[in-house]
Structures are given as C-alpha cells and as structure tokens.
Amino acid sequence: MAAVDDVIARGYGDPDRLGVCGWSYGGELTNHVITRTDRFKGACTGASTFIYISNYGHDQYQRWWEFELGLPWENREMWEEMEPFNRVENITTPTLILCGEKDWNVPVINSEQLYMALKRLGRITELVVYPGEFHGIGTPSYIKDKYTRYLDWFAKYVKGKGTEAEE
C-alpha cells in the first residue's frame, strides 16, 4: 500500500477512486489486497488461487509453493496465514471474478470458492466463467468481453457511473 500512498501523494491518484485488478498471480495479489484493506472501490480478479491448500499437488507451481511456504503439513500456520480465504470476511470491495472453464492450472473451483464465500457474506460480486477457455483467455470475443466487463465494473464501482449499457 506504500506505493499506492506514494502515487496519491504525488497527485497521480485519487484516494476516493481506487480500483485493483489482476490475472493469475496478479489476481492472487488482488485477493490478498482486498482481504486486508477497504480502500479500493472495485476489484477484478481472474484465474486466481483463493484456497492454497486445495491447489497443492495440482498446479504447476508446487515447487514454488513449497519454496515460499514450506510443506503444508510441516508449516500449516504459514499456509493458513497466507490463504486469502481465511480473511474473506474482511472483503467489502465489490469484486468481479473471471476464469476459464478448462483452466487446469488454476481450476475454476478457486473462482467458485471466492464467489460463493462473497455471496454468502452478502457482498457485491459477479462470477464469469468463459466456456472452453484455459488459464489465458484466447477467444477474441471473450477477450473483448473480459475487458468490457473490467471497464464497466470500474465505471460503476470506482467512478460511480452506470455501466456503458445503462448510459
């Protein structure tokens, strides 16, 4: 958050109109940020891990998980501390969640878990699953849809305007 504070202090950002967005590891970072602060008015997260232990042994990053966090059965406290799921009740930021149906690296269950937790908490959220897509969205119409959704989400929740379709 120090970088955000610096941008605001330099006059490049408006503290009342902040949004956060990321895909893959960027989505994972987005999930962390929105569990730790309510400064952002809107968030978009895509193809992101939400419950780390559910991916252990499944994704291509197992060695990195072990390097950063240790083995889950030997360092359970670290794994639990790092999981955004364990702070989900702190999320108040309206959150758009996107993913590919056939993402084998970060399976759709991650997005579904985040979505269901936010819905159960009564938070503003939307889940978009792109049929037939993998970790990166490659179909041109879906790429356009993804970026249109980003712009509409931030227009509505960060800028406080209606969506393009409403205006």
Distance, C-alpha 75 to centroid of its chain = 25
Contact 94, 44 (CB under 8 A): no
Residue 32 known to be catalytic? no
Residue 24 known to be catalytic? yes
Count of beta carbons in the 10 Å neighbourhood of residue 96: 23
Angle CA 34–155–162, to nearest 5? 125
Contact 34, 43 (CB under 8 A): yes
Cα-flanking dihedrals φ and ψ of residue 152, to 5°? -65, -40
Q: 91: burial class by Cβ within 10 Å (0-12, 13-18, 19+)?
A: buried
Among residues 32, 58, 135, 141, the one annotated as catalytic is 135
Residues labelled catalytic: 24, 135
